[in-house]
Structure 1
Amino acid sequence: MQIVGITTQQEVFIGSKTRNFRINEFLIIEDPYQNDLMGEVVEAKAFNRYIPLNIAGDFVDSSVLESLKTLGYNIDEETIYIAKVRLLNEALYPVQTGADVRLPEFHEVKDLMIKTKKEDGLVLGVIKNTDDMAIDMDEEYKNLLYTFEEKGLCPQREIPYILDVKSMHHYPHIGVFGGSGSGKSFGLRVVLEELMKQNIPTIVLDPHFEMDFSERAGYLEDNTIDFKDKFKCLQVGFHVGVKFEDLSSQDLKNLLDAASHLTDSMNNVVDVLFKRKDSFSSFYNKLQMLTEAQEEGSIDRIDNRINYADHQEEKKAWEKRKELYLSYDKTCPYNSVKGIIWRLKRLDNEGIFSKDVREIEDGLQRGKLMVIQGNTRILQVFSTYLLNSLYHKRRDYKDALYKKIHSEYFPPFIVVTDEAHNFAPKGYDSPSKSILKEISQEGRKYGAFLILATQRPTLLDETITAQLNTKFIFRTVRASDIQTIKEETDLTVEETRRLPYLRTGDVFISSASMGRTIFARIRAAISSSPHTENPFDELKNKGKEDDEKFLNVIKSKLPINDTELLDIIMEIEKETGITFTLDSLEDRLKQMVEKEYIKKEETIFGYRYKIIS
């Protein structure tokens, strides 16, 4: 392998007769004047006598071809392998043409590839095309993981990619981007598994009900790792919610605004009527009584209600309504109060106020991964309160340390969400967006970090996207998303061209802490998603199960003549409680014939269904 063509201080061409090049592999150039220079292959091609060289375009120019001839290559007869290589660090001078090139050894790339010990980092996968260097790799980095390849599960053959989680203190927040089927959710699962191994307190907002780690993947034989005690799934409205008495006026407005947008007048109603430590019932009744008084329309009509009350309790109730009317009618318009009542009732019906967040806080204190499940809208509502509460607990603790005053300890934590563009959309405000933006900009100082996954990075708030110092980029097809990735990462033009064609599980990792982009493959997950079954397999299995149940019901009644079907229907309903009509039973029997469970034969008395002998 030798340098050919005209060189620069950043890029060179390498030619070889014997070795084909792989994109993203590393090579060392033995420049006689500048010592060893390391570079990465960004493009690779092969030429032979069957392909005219004039179709090479701008990848290989005439200077490269002339260099090859000068160095003894017979470009008209031999297959020639040529690579375009970009130096990792700019050289002082253009690289010497004709310089030899070799493969690096592990000790030469160790500091470049591995930034932390396996015990201190997240072992997420392997760095692609490093198998040659991995041969003499330190034993501690071998046999750490498995990957999925075309032939199935494969043991590790390349250098592991270990994310230095401690570097998030300086380079905070992670983005996970990729289209449907790219491996994005699978990669997110692997990241969460590694966080659980490290006992890092983590909150996961799970709108798809898939981040359950209780089931082990069937393809792994190693049973030593079990996540059952390291995570907990909690559903909003069933296991967790908001304790109304703990809400501030701003918390309540955030929740109501998440239910449906609040007008300025509605915001004012909450500011005027809500008092600290109000219970749900006391606040709701206050609103209800005020609207009932406003519906009367005047003090005279309210006084009539008081004077002609049937009993003392009714009289007292209308006196309270009169008091509220006199105090708040002018500052709290009727329609605005009704709007608050409607939103409040909607949240209550969804169970938001039925529980509290104590279990989440306790789990974080013990270093667990807490998975919060619910549909996207419910999670938007709940996360607005939850993240505000947890972030300010952590912030208050750090501020108290600085002021040297006592405060209850609250640990650093990571917030993880899929479909992040729904929680922090670009172009319009949402309640959860403000707290996510605050954490993205200031969370690093207080030990609060984000891992945001989305299929549509273009739709994610730009301020937040700009704060994601590490980005995992899986297969992406949409031009607008690729353009966003170009603007937000250091991916080269060649790498962005490859984005639509990446295999599932292959990923570009653009990391500020690494200082460059790594091409990697995510390891096989230890746990399995509850949604792994193919829906068409599910359909087929369910059909087979139903057929077997029906066969068990009618087996003892075969053979069945078509004149006996009404009697058979009555027998089945009496024995099992299953009801059929004449048409539905006939259709079911015909299906069983088509699937060759039973057979149908013609007799002198009509058709008869019987077991296949």
Structure 2
Amino acid sequence: MQIVGQTTQLEAWVASRTRPFSINEILIIEDSGHRDPKAEVVETRTFNRYIPLASEQHNLVDDSVLRGLRQVGFDIEDEEIHLAKLRLLEELATPVRVGSRVRVPQFSEVESLLIKRRPKDGLTLGVIQGTREVAEGMPPDLQDVALLFDKEDGVQRQDGVPFVFDYRSMDQYPHIGIFGGSGSGKSFGTRVLLEEIMKQRVPAVVFDPHFEMTFDNEFPGLPDHYRESYKKKFVLLVAGTDIGIDFVDLTADDIVSLLRASSGSITDAMETAIKSMHKKGDSYLSYSTRMANLAEALDNEAEIREQARDLAMLPVDERERVHTLSKLLKEYKDKVGGFSGTLRSVMRRMYRLEMEGVFTNAGTKLVEEAFMKRQLVVIRGSMYFLNVFAFYVVRKLYRKRREYRDSIQKGRPIEEAFPPFVIITDEAHNFAPKGDIPAPAKGVLKEIAQEGRKYGVFLVFATQRPALLDDTITAQLSTKMVFRTVRSVDIAVIKEETDITPEEANRLPYLSSGTAFISSAITGRTTSVRIRVSKTTSPHFKNPFEELEEAFAEQDSKLWEALEGQLPIDAFNLNAYLTEIGRKVGRPVTYDELEHALDDFADQGKLVREDTPFGSRYKKV
């Protein structure tokens, strides 16, 4: 293998007669003047006599490459030639020497480049593409730690150097983005990341709108040494049942943000009323009762004022009610604009949230208990629900962690420690959308994106649409796992926010499922990684069409067993068989279903269908 053609401080071409090049593999250029620099293959080609490489108008290879091939002895008209474009991993002061020999490195020569942490101390996410030959010299602790999966062949051996993410460096380079379209392997990659977070016992909270982040079921076909149980490492909570918003914790601004996000919009008058009537420490009952009473007082203002002038004439119970309403009118009428409709609009929005279970005394107690056990917490619910809960949960947990760290800095440590933690969201663009789109948790998430690393709070944002994610947050994601992405606007954002090369950007729409470019400030470069097989499965793991076949195969089997004992069956008398067949299959069977089943079994060759003067008769074969 030799360097050919024109070279620069950053790029070069390498050619070989015998060895095809692998995309993303690392090679060493034997140029002593530059201390044998390392380079990565970013583009590969192979030419032979059937492809006219020497054409003057050739649009695939630069003329300087053709001249360089000839100069080092290649017969470009008759030989098969393997070419690769190299990107040097470090910019040089001068270009590498043309004609320099190129070789595959020993593992020890690239270990510091490829391995930032050993598997026991980092997150083992997959296998670095193009490292199969290099991996032959790996030590035992790097072998068989990242098995792979192929849909055709099942679980596969590790065929390269493992990619181990140095999560401990997130205190300097915080936050992770996981981008990829439908079917790209984004959810699979997120699951693997969460398994590794649990393995390292890092407290984390996951907002799961797709009801798939559970870790009870083992991935099928794993070898014994690779299996691992996560059942005691995570807690599953249902939003509105196991966890809720404690109204007492809310400020007036919080209530405004909550109602605006959950209801679409609120008027200025409604915002004024919410803030004017809120008192610190209000429960839902005390706040809503105060608002309802004021609405009643405004509707009956003249009557209330008249009764208030002579309270002694009223019954005791009525006297107390009129006194309360009169006091509310005096204190709040001018502040809320004197219109009960505004108050009732606020009350309807609050009542909707209360009826859906948003306001409970549960608060974040179960999350905090799980954090102290260093567990992962999965909060499950609809996107609407999670958007509401994320605002409260994230803010409260972040405040607790910040107060704990601030107290240490000020020399006044509080009694109970609160651990660092990670926040993970799927469909992240719904939690922190770009532009002015309202979202209750957006403000606190932006604050964490900018300030969270100081307090040990980190974000993992997964989304199919990075172009719809808030710009401030996107800019703070120091590590980005980019799976197959097709939309041009999303690719444009990825190109702007990562250091992927033009060649890698062009490959994004064609990446195989489960392969990702991991661009990280921690590694200092973009690495192509095939994500390892997960050790657990999603509830949605089974192919829906396989599920359909299995379900109906079992149903058909039961129906066949019930029918077989009734044969022969005459079509004109099907009603006579329905009760007995239904009893045997354990459910009611309709006339149409039985008729359809008989025809299906006849088409499958299980029955013989004969035509008679009275219609069809079905008999055993």
Normalised TM-score (structure 2) = 0.93
- CA deviation vs aligned residue, 1:352-383 (integer Å, no higher than 9, x gap): 11332200110011110000011111100011
Aligned to 1:240: 243
Shift of 1:300: 5.3
Which residues of structure 1 form unaligned runs of 5+? none
Q: Is the 8 A contact 2:292 2:347 kept in 1?
A: yes
- For residues 212-270 of structure 1, the C-alpha deviation after alignment (integer angstroms, 9 at most, x for no partner) is 11000012132741000000111101211112233333333332222212333222222
Identity across aligned pairs (percent)?
A: 45
1:245 and 1:278 in contact (8 A); partners too: yes
Note the aligned Cα RMSD (angstroms). Answer: 2.6
Q: Residue 43 and residue 56 in structure 1: after superposition, are their counterparts in 2 closer, same or farther (change >3 A)? A: farther
Q: Which of 314, 321, 324 is 1:320 aligned to?
A: 324
- In structure 2, the partner of 1:343 is 349
- The counterpart of 2:442, out of the listed 433, 438, 454, is 433
User: How many angstroms does 1:15 deviate by?
Assistant: 1.7
Report the CA distance between 1:74 and its aligned residue.
Answer: 1.2
**Structure 1 residues 53-202: aligned runs within 5 Å:** 53=53, 54=55, 57=58, 59-149=60-150, 151-202=153-204
Shift of 1:439: 0.5
For 1:394 and 1:521, the matched residues in 2 are separated by 35
What is the Cα deviation at residue 336 of structure 1? 2.2
Q: Is 1:249 matched with 2:249? A: no
Alpha-carbon distance in structure 1 between the residues aligned to 2:57 and 2:230: 53
Q: What is the count of residue pairs matched by the alignment?
A: 612
Tell me which moved more, 574-583 or 267-276.
Answer: 574-583
SS at match of 1:293: helix
**Could you tell me how far apart the structure 2 residues matched to 1:524 and 1:504 are?**
12
- Compared with structure 1, are the counterparts of its residues 543 and 575 closer, same or farther at alpha carbon in structure 2 (3 Å cutoff)? closer
Q: How far apart are 1:285 and its partner, in Å? A: 1.7
* Partners of 1:582 and 1:522 in 2: CA distance: 51
Distance 1:309 1:409, change over 3 A: farther
1:283 counterpart = 2:284: no
The alpha carbon displacement at 1:42 in A equals 1.6
Q: Supply the distance in 2 between the matched residues of 1:583 and 1:18 (Cα, whole angstroms).
A: 68
Match of 2:555 in 1: 546
Q: Does 1:226 align with 2:241?
A: no
Q: Offset at 1:598?
A: 4.7
Give how far 1:46 is off: 1.5
Task: Report if aligned partners of 1:175, 1:472 keep a CA contact under 8 Å in 2.
Answer: yes
Following superposition, the deviation at residue 541 of structure 1 comes to 2.5
Whether the 8 Å CA contact 1:437–1:464 is kept in 2: the answer is yes
Q: Which amino acid aligns with 1:328?
A: Y
Trace 1:40-55 onto structure 2 (pairs within 5 A).
40-53=40-53, 54=55
* CA shift digits 1:1-44 (9 cap, x unpaired): 11212222221121211111122111111114333111111222
Could you say which residue in structure 1 is the equivalent of 2:11? Answer: 11
Measured against aligned partners, the alpha-carbon deviations of 1:117-161 in whole angstroms (never above 9, x if no partner) come to: 211100000111111111111221111121124643211121110
Matches within 5 A, 1:287-306: 287-299=291-303, 303=307
User: How does the TM-score come out when normalised to structure 1?
Assistant: 0.94
1:331 is matched with which residue? 335
User: Which amino acid in structure 1 is aligned with residue 413 of structure 2?
Assistant: H
Contact 1:305 1:318 (8 Å CA) reproduced? no
Residues 502-517 of structure 1 aligned to structure 2 (within 5 Å): 502-517=511-526
Cα distance change, pair 526–253 in 1 and its aligned pair in 2 (3 A): same
Q: Given the superposition, is the C-alpha separation of residues 431 and 57 from structure 1 closer, same or farther in structure 2, using an over 3 Å criterion?
A: farther
Go from structure 1 to structure 2 and tell me whether the alpha carbon gap of 1:327 and 1:114 turns closer, same or farther (over 3 Å shift).
Answer: same
Matched, 1:367 2:370: no
Letter in 1 for 2:286: S
Deviations 1:458-484 (A, max 9, x none): 000111000000000111111111111
Looking at structure 2, the residues matched to 460 and 55 of structure 1 have their Cα atoms a distance apart, in angstroms, of: 47
Q: Tell me, yes or no, if the aligned pair for 1:306 and 1:319 is still in contact at 8 Å.
A: no
- Return the letter of the residue paired with 1:11: E
Q: Which amino acid aligns with 2:545?
A: F
Tell me the CA shift for residue 605 of structure 1.
Answer: 4.6
Q: 1:196 to 1:337 in 2, by over 3 A?
A: same
Residues 596/266 of structure 1: CA separation in 2 closer, same or farther (3 Å cut): farther
Gaps of 5+ in 2: none
| Structure 1 Cα separation of the partners of residues 56 and 537 of structure 2 | 48
Return the match for 2:418 from 382, 406, 410: 410
Deviations 1:537-562 (A, max 9, x none): 22222323333444455555444434
Cα separation, 1, equivalents of 2:452 and 2:74: 58
Are the counterparts in 2 of residues 232 and 371 from structure 1 also a CA contact under 8 Å? yes
Q: Pick closer, same or farther for the CA change 1:302–1:474 going to 2, 3 Å.
A: farther
Instruction: Out of 107-116 and 5-14, give the one that drifted further.
Output: 5-14
1:608 and 1:318 map into 2 onto residues whose CA distance is 84
**Aligned residue for 1:37?**
37
Distance 1:309 1:109 in 2: 94
Which of 233, 243, 268 is residue 272 of structure 2 equivalent to? Answer: 268
